[in-house]
Amino acid sequence: MAAASTRMPLLRKHPSLLIFLGVLALFTLAVTLMSEAYGPGIISASFVKTLGKTLCLCLIALAMDLVWGYTGILSLGHFAFFGLGGYMIGMWLMYARTRDIVVASLANGALPPTPEEIRDAVAVQIFGVVGGNTFPTIWYFASSFWAQLALVVLVPGLLALVFGWLAFRSRVTGVYLSILTQAMTLALALWLFQNDSGLRGNNGLSGLQNLPGADAIPQSYVSIWFFWASAAALGLAYLLCFWIVSGKFGSVLRGIRDDEARVRFLGYPVEGFKLFVFTLTAVLAGLAGALYYPQAGIINPAEMAPIASVYLAVWVAIGGRGRLYGAVIGAAFVSLVSSVFTGGRVPDVNLGFYTIQWVDWWQVMLGIAFVIVTIVAPKGIGGLFDWFEGVKSPDRKGEPLGPDDGALREKEAVE
Amino acid sequence: MRSLLAALAAVLTLATMALAQDAPGPLQTILQTYREPIQKSSRTTVGPAIAALAGSGLPGAETVLQAWSDRSLWVRKTDGFFAIAETSGNDLALTDVDSGQPIGTAPKADFDQLRPNSGIKSVIASAMVQFQLSSPDRATREKALASIARDPSTDQLAPLRASIAGEADPVLKAQKERLERLLTLRFDPDEAARVSAIKSFSGDIGVDLRAALNPIVATTRAAGPAVPQGANVAQMLTPGSSALSEDEAKALLVSAGILPPVITPAERAKALVANIVDGQVGGVAVADLDSEANRSAAYEALEVAGAVPPAASDADVAAAMSSAVFYETYAEPSPAVTDAALVTLRSVELRLALNQFIDLALDALSLASIYFLAAIGLAITFGVMRVINMAHGEFIMMGAYTGYVVQQYIADYTISILVALPAAFVVGALAGIAMERLVIRRLYHRPLETLLATFGVSIALQQLAKNIFGTQARPLTSPDWLGGALTFNDIVSISYIRIAIFVLALIFLGVFLFIMKRTRLGLEVRAVTQNPKMAASMGINPERINMMTFALGSGIAGIAGVAIGLFAKVTSELGQDYIVQSFMTVVVGGVGNIWGTLLGAMLIGFLQKGIEWLNPSNTLAAQTYMIIFIIIFIQFRPRGIIALKGRAAGD
Amino acid sequence: MNSLLEVSGVSVTFDGFRAINNLSFTIGPQEMRAIIGPNGAGKTTFMDIVTGKTKPDTGRVVWGERAISLLKLSESQIAQVGIGRKFQRPTVFEDQLVRENLMMAVKRPRGPVPVLFFRPSAADRERVEELAGEIGLADQLDRKSGELSHGQKQWLEIGMLLAQEPKLLLVDEPAAGMTLAEREHTTTLLREAAKTRAVVVVEHDMEFVRRLDCRVTVLHEGAVLAEGSLDFVTQNPEVIEVYLGR
């Protein structure tokens, strides 16, 4: 990275970006050519969906890496934003699809249906399960795809903005902040669990895999389209994140992570930077959710339980914090391995006195593996790349600085 | 000789029977008067007979009613002579209903047994209450009072009053007097007596009083051309006001017959379908009936044609609305009584609110002590080591499972709880030491990574518990002496388990304060909390202190687990349910100060109960509001209620 | 009076301990000042107050010709008006290149949005090279700053301070742990800096203070004990009492 190269475009300056985008493109192409829709069907539609969902998880892991790995904010609330994004698009999907069904069934009646009849029938269809028969106010825009799409961005973004503003303004940092984000997630999940939240309580929204007006199109095609969308979103988000962290902004973020006070004394409004990153990553998480849940088909508040956000941190930690590809690798690796183990695809181990059933023991293994990674290999899988390249970490004298409050130690030593 | 005696007896019997037949006693008369309904044995018709017997005031009436209920009242087939009888072989030993004297025997075949069904039996029982009120047996009198209180009626008033003077037991006398007043306020024909009875209850919070008063002040709404004569009007209503919406007013007009029924869209659609002629309804093409306006136009056309009954038009509604009056009346006709009842109810409500507040405060206090127990271990470790232990909830869970396992081996619940408490402490402490040595020690000064690593432990432990104990809840039974509740009055009560937990929390507060203020360990812990470096340079081994505090904190978590397990089901998710509240307690309270934790627990306990009280139907929303409140609270006191100040607070 | 920073009547208490007691202090726009005093005299707390880290209980801190009160500003705003601070231990961003450290410090708009769209211009890069030359790290630009030696880190931090172009430089024990040669370099850097701005140096080492050759303020128990040339204050009996007595 000599001085002369700084004018070169982003792609040429950072070969890793090119490699990542290339691998993603090849992967997308390969899956497409092996799919049922555009190839011999080696990969089933449901597995295409699994892969598409995994790409969405990689996208939110990317957001998590930006906010935690780069900025040092261990947010345990990003899955709440993910879920909110899913709910927002789910409202439109469910409304539009139910409306199609209702219109079709009412068309058989003796009289042509009035708009009021259609609306009431749709409301009964959707909210009958929680004992409602009218649309709550929050469904005001549900009939408009574009409005709900805007809400996918706006709702998580606004929530993050308000929450972040409150939290950062009062200088809540470190573990306090983590606990507070966890509380926020819990509050949101509990709120959605009640029946009069207007989002069908613990039933959640369902039937999201059916695109309105596209009944004739087989799921094999729909699945691959969503796969493409997820891959494109991941690619674009990666580019965006890379652009953000490669410049001075990234420098400031890493500075905040390592020594927040020092950045403040350099004159940077740390709170503004944190708020920016927190909100941006919340929006990315919302988008990831909006792509994920149509592929999953159903969303309910249990998806947003605080533990989900912890798993998110686990993926990023296992993949390697503070490097974007690490987050993507971690999310892909852990979620795919997890689905293999919990899907019962690994044979049970018979020890004679006890049979290890991986469905039961996978979580124990994951927990322990996570503890070991945190203690022994804080760089995660991404550390392997350093090892290959022979890049040594800087020889730091004193306490290790990293995406933790390590720098605090140095500061304490000053006083 | 034997035959002689038998002959004599027969003569005697005949003689007495003849005598009885000659001059029937008053009870016999009543019975014979009502012979037909009595023998018919139907609940609907037997009432007057029972009332006549009970109201006769005769000394033998109770015995007769009892005998009837016990199926020992018989009636002679030939002349309807009633007698109380006991079977002996094929004969009946007869007793006179009036005198209670034996009147010889008679063949069973001559008599019919009266077999009252359960309906009649209950009518008899309530009629007999008046006799039982003065029964020499205290338990009988008590039962009679309870029976009146359960199902009060007008005719019980007089016997109840009569029985008060002769009541010797002061407790029962007080009960009788209270019941008498309750009956008076409802059933006494004298208005002044009712009013004074109502007034005498001012400020009373008994459930029975409210049950008696509420029917008096119950109202019904109606519409009509004018308020009916003699109605006890609670208030006049204006349509469109907050008390009476337009739609409600319309419904009242319909039920008063002033307006024809309002037709619903579904009914209208049905009527339209029924009148489709040549693809048209009332001149509108069927295809055009896809809007409200067109449908009502079509319907109006049908109305004009007389094809459908007329529905009320807007003008009709407006006219009816302006001509009719809307009012709310009491079922109770006397205004003096309703006014007095309202005044008394108001005074009751005030007292009631006060008592509910006390009850709520007790609830909140017990919740606070649970949070305190759950959070104290967390606060210790966070205060001393600046380590957030996410597996703390799982230590609580381990304590609860320890209690469950101990109960599998020790059948006596009292002993098993006494064993379980120290056992849970040991299990928690050992788990804490293991985690401190294996995980936390390797991650010193990396608090966020510690948080995550302990989360990993939490995930593993939770699944491990699921694998060992299964997903269904395991019971942890409390000993009998912890069952039940301490009841102060109808409203204020608290269960003994909650009192025990409160006491446990107090004990731990005491133990903790003792350790911190009076022991060497406490001194060293405080030193490490305030300045770890200085403490280390003074020869305190911080590693040892960290291990000890971690063991202490985790051990207390184990004990908290036993306490929580006593009233909540033990599942692998038990810890999770409390962990966020525990964190909130620590965060709100402030780090490194036991009083802060105590205040935090109090704040959160009271807050949660308070919000639940304001929004009782929805505990989920209550928790949401509470968390939002805490997030806002952190704005004003980012370091908790009791915050360390100055350089010791770090950044 | 034409002063750059005026601190008057400032007191601050930590849990009953009076760290600063009615302290008043003034410094002009192009002045070098050394602050000395025994441990616990309140030197670091004084810096904390000026840079906004600690809010005093009473008193005024006024900045510049327009007499802005610093008490109402946040740390980053104070840094932006032109106060730079160097900590006792070198605090540079060890995980980042020397170039990145300097680039972050170069005076440019500090808000998130301008920073996001910031791409270094030729002038910026030149400025970084020039600073690196000044602090003797020209050939270390593409090393991670964590790999530098202790002294180099100190210089890097001073370089970052200079890049901020502050009007007032607060330097906390710059010579601690340096070799003799490194000290000389540091002295030169500071004296050079003081030609264009105000510099306040907190230092224990009398030898180093003598080398700076400037006015000296002696702090004791949170208040100013004496002020003047080094020779003047070292003759002051109270100062001798505080340093040597007991």
> Could you please report the per-residue DSSP string of B170-204?
HHHHHHHHHHHHHHHHHH-S-HHHHHHHHHHTTT-
| Domain limits for position C52 | 5-244
Give the residue-averaged pLDDT of A338-352: 78
Q: CA C215, CA C227: separation in Å to the nearest integer?
A: 7
Q: What's the pLDDT at A409?
A: 38
| Identity of the residue in C44, C115, C172 whose CB atom sits nearest the CB atom of A248 | C115
Q: Residue A33 domain-assigned?
A: yes
pLDDT bucket at A4, cuts 50 / 70 / 90? very low
User: How close does chain A come to C176, measured CA to CA in Å?
Assistant: 12
Chain A CB contacts of C144 below 8 Å: 394
Chain B CB contacts of A167 below 8 Å: 631, 634
Closest alpha carbon to C187 in C164, C203, C166: C203
> Domain ranges in chain B?
2-123, 133-217, 219-330, 352-649
Alpha carbon of B625 to those of A59, B114, B599, B602: distances in Å?
Answer: 31, 66, 19, 17
How many CB pairs below 8 Å do chains A and B form together?
A: 181
Map residue B221 onto helix, strand or coil.
strand
Q: Which of A278-292, B271-285, B499-513 has the highest mean pLDDT?
A: A278-292
CB of A268 less than 8 A from some CB of C: yes
Question: CA angle, A198 as apex, A197 and A203 as ends, to 5°?
Answer: 85
User: Is the Cβ–Cβ distance between A319 and A329 less than 8 Å?
Assistant: yes
Give the residue-averaged pLDDT of B275-302: 81
User: Do B448 and A405 make contact, defined as CB atoms within 8 angstroms?
Assistant: yes
pLDDT bucket at B2, cuts 50 / 70 / 90? low
Give the residue-averaged pLDDT of C190-197: 85
Which of the 8 DSSP states describes residue A374? H
CB of A397 less than 8 A from some CB of C: yes
Q: At what angle do helices A306-319 and A78-106 cross, to 10 degrees?
A: 120
Chain C CB contacts of B646 below 8 Å: 14-15, 17, 19
Structure tokens belonging to residue B187: 């059933």
| Identity of the residue in A180, A191, A374 whose CB atom sits nearest the CB atom of B634 | A180
Q: What's the pLDDT at A12?
A: 65
Residues from B contacting C (CB-CB < 8 Å) are 645-648
Q: CA B527, CA B249: separation in Å to the nearest integer?
A: 74
Contacts 24+ apart (CB under 8 A), B243-252: B244/B326, B248/B221, B249/B223, B249/B321, B249/B326, B250/B317, B250/B321, B252/B221, B252/B222, B252/B223, B252/B326
- Residues in chain B, how many? 651
Give the residue-averaged pLDDT of A197-215: 86
Q: What is the pLDDT of residues C161-187, one digit of tens each?
A: 888 888 898 888 877 777 788 788 888
pLDDT for residue C151 is more than 90? no
Q: Which of A204-218, A396-410, B267-281 has the highest mean pLDDT?
A: A204-218
pLDDT bucket at A81, cuts 50 / 70 / 90? very high
Chain A CB contacts of C112 below 8 Å: 249, 269, 272-273, 275-276
Instruction: Name the residue with higher pLDDT: A93 or A8.
Output: A93
User: Do A404 and B448 make contact, defined as CB atoms within 8 angstroms?
Assistant: yes
User: Do A360 and B463 make contact, defined as CB atoms within 8 angstroms?
Assistant: yes
Chains touching B (at least 3 CB pairs under 8 A) are: A, C
User: Do B647 and C17 make contact, defined as CB atoms within 8 angstroms?
Assistant: no
Q: What's the pLDDT at B54?
A: 72
User: Do C17 and B646 make contact, defined as CB atoms within 8 angstroms?
Assistant: yes
Q: What is the pLDDT of residues B38-74, one digit of tens each?
A: 777 777 777 777 777 777 767 777 777 777 777 777 8
Q: CA A187, CA A198: separation in Å to the nearest integer?
A: 16
Query: Quick one: which H or E segment has residue C33?
Result: strand C32-36
Q: What residues 234-273 of chain B have any CB closer than 8 A to a CB of chain A? A: 265, 269, 272-273
Contacts 24+ apart (CB under 8 A), B114-118: B114/B38, B114/B39, B114/B41, B114/B68, B114/B71, B114/B73, B114/B74, B114/B75, B115/B41, B115/B71, B116/B41, B116/B68, B116/B69, B116/B71, B117/B41, B117/B43
Q: What's the pLDDT at B117?
A: 76
Give the residue-averaged pLDDT of A121-149: 88
Closest residue, chain C, to A396 (C-alpha): C146
Give the residue-averaged pLDDT of B530-559: 84
Q: Which of A3-7, B120-124, B642-646, C132-136 has the highest mean pLDDT?
A: C132-136
Closest residue, chain C, to B647 (C-alpha): C14
User: Do C17 and B645 make contact, defined as CB atoms within 8 angstroms?
Assistant: no
Give the residue-averaged pLDDT of A263-278: 92
What are the helix (H) ranges across B280-387? 292-305, 314-323, 335-385
Chain A interface disruption, residue of C43, C53, C75, most A CBs within 10 A: C75
| Identity of the residue in C44, C91, C142 whose CB atom sits nearest the CB atom of A1 | C142
User: How close does chain C come to A322, measured CA to CA in Å?
Assistant: 11
Point out the least confidently predicted range of A301-305, B402-406, C1-5.
C1-5
Structure tokens belonging to residue C231: 């020779």
Give the residue-averaged pLDDT of C199-204: 86
Distance of CA C20 to the CA centre of its chain: 18
Distance of CA B326 to the CA centre of its chain: 36
User: Is the Cβ–Cβ distance between A104 and A96 less than 8 Å?
Assistant: no
User: How close does chain A come to C3, measured CA to CA in Å?
Assistant: 22
Closest residue, chain A, to B450 (C-alpha): A374
pLDDT for residue B122 is more than 60? yes
Q: What's the pLDDT at B13?
A: 55
Residue in the block written with tokens 């030939």: B78
Structure tokens belonging to residue A181: 């984000």
Chain B CB contacts of A403 below 8 Å: 448
Q: Which of A170-184, A281-295, B294-308, C191-205 has the highest mean pLDDT?
A: A281-295
User: Do C79 and A272 make contact, defined as CB atoms within 8 angstroms?
Assistant: no
CB of A258 less than 8 A from some CB of C: yes
- Mean of the per-residue pLDDT values of chain B: 80
Q: CA A372, CA B472: separation in Å to the nearest integer?
A: 30
Q: What's the pLDDT at B433?
A: 93
B2-123: in CATH 1.10.3720.10: no
Q: What's the pLDDT at B394?
A: 92
pLDDT for residue A397 is more than 70? no
Give the residue-averaged pLDDT of B125-146: 78
Count CB neighbours of C245 within 10 A. Answer: 9
Q: What's the pLDDT at A402?
A: 38
Chains touching A (at least 3 CB pairs under 8 A) are: B, C
Q: What is the pLDDT of residues A221-256, one digit of tens each?
A: 999 999 999 999 999 999 999 999 988 999 999 999
**Predicted structure pTM score:** 0.80
**What CATH class does B352-649 carry?**
mainly alpha
User: Do A2 and C87 make contact, defined as CB atoms within 8 angstroms?
Assistant: no
Structure tokens belonging to residue A137: 């106010």
Q: Which residues contact B114 (CB under 8 A, 6 or more apart)?
A: B38, B39, B41, B68, B71, B73, B74, B75
User: Do B452 and A314 make contact, defined as CB atoms within 8 angstroms?
Assistant: yes
The pair phi, psi for residue A359, each rounded to 5°, is -60, -40
Map residue B399 onto helix, strand or coil.
helix
Chain A CB contacts of B291 below 8 Å: 114-115
User: How close does chain A come to C110, measured CA to CA in Å?
Assistant: 5
User: How close does chain B come to A388, measured CA to CA in Å?
Assistant: 25
Chain A CB contacts of B448 below 8 Å: 72, 74, 174-175, 178, 403-405
| Identity of the residue in C105, C125, C129 whose CB atom sits nearest the CB atom of A266 | C105
| Identity of the residue in A252, A264, A272 whose CB atom sits nearest the CB atom of C104 | A252
| Identity of the residue in A111, A306, A313 whose CB atom sits nearest the CB atom of B452 | A313
pLDDT bucket at A6, cuts 50 / 70 / 90? very low
CB of B279 less than 8 A from some CB of A: no
pLDDT for residue B405 is more than 90? yes
Secondary-structure percent of chain B, ordered helix, strand, coil, rounded to 5: 65, 10, 25
User: How close does chain B come to C41, measured CA to CA in Å?
Assistant: 15
Chain C CB contacts of B648 below 8 Å: 14-15
User: Do B635 and A183 make contact, defined as CB atoms within 8 angstroms?
Assistant: no
Count CB neighbours of A216 within 10 A. Answer: 5
Point out the least confidently predicted range of A41-45, B527-531, C67-71.
B527-531
| Domain limits for position A148 | 10-414
Alpha carbon of A158 to those of A150, A244, A282, B387, B636: distances in Å?
Answer: 12, 21, 9, 32, 22
Which of the 8 DSSP states describes residue A113? P
Radius of gyration of chain B (CA): 39
Count of structural domains within chain A: 1
Q: What's the pLDDT at B8?
A: 58
Q: What's the pLDDT at B38?
A: 74
Q: Residue A3 domain-assigned?
A: no
User: How close does chain C come to B631, measured CA to CA in Å?
Assistant: 23
Q: What's the pLDDT at A395?
A: 43
What CATH code is carried by the domain that includes residue C138? 3.40.50.300
CB of C15 less than 8 A from some CB of B: yes
Give the residue-averaged pLDDT of B110-127: 76
pLDDT for residue B509 is more than 70? yes
| Sign of the alpha-carbon dihedral angle for A317, A321, A326, A328 | positive
User: How close does chain C come to B379, measured CA to CA in Å?
Assistant: 22
Q: What's the pLDDT at A57?
A: 95
Q: What's the pLDDT at B651?
A: 35
User: Do B449 and A114 make contact, defined as CB atoms within 8 angstroms?
Assistant: no
| Strand-pair partners of C61 | C7
Chain B interface disruption, residue of C11, C12, C15, C45, most B CBs within 10 A: C15
CB of A253 less than 8 A from some CB of C: no
Chain B interface disruption, residue of A179, A342, A366, most B CBs within 10 A: A179
pLDDT bucket at A153, cuts 50 / 70 / 90? very high
Q: What's the pLDDT at B227?
A: 81
pLDDT for residue A7 is more than 50? no
Q: CA A216, CA B196: separation in Å to the nearest integer?
A: 79
pLDDT for residue B650 is more than 70? no
Chain C CB contacts of B647 below 8 Å: 14
User: How close does chain B come to C52, measured CA to CA in Å?
Assistant: 13
Q: What is the pLDDT of residues B171-229, one digit of tens each?
A: 888 888 888 888 888 888 888 888 888 888 877 777 788 888 888 888 888 888 888 87
| Identity of the residue in B439, B466, B631 whose CB atom sits nearest the CB atom of A371 | B439
Give the residue-averaged pLDDT of A382-387: 79
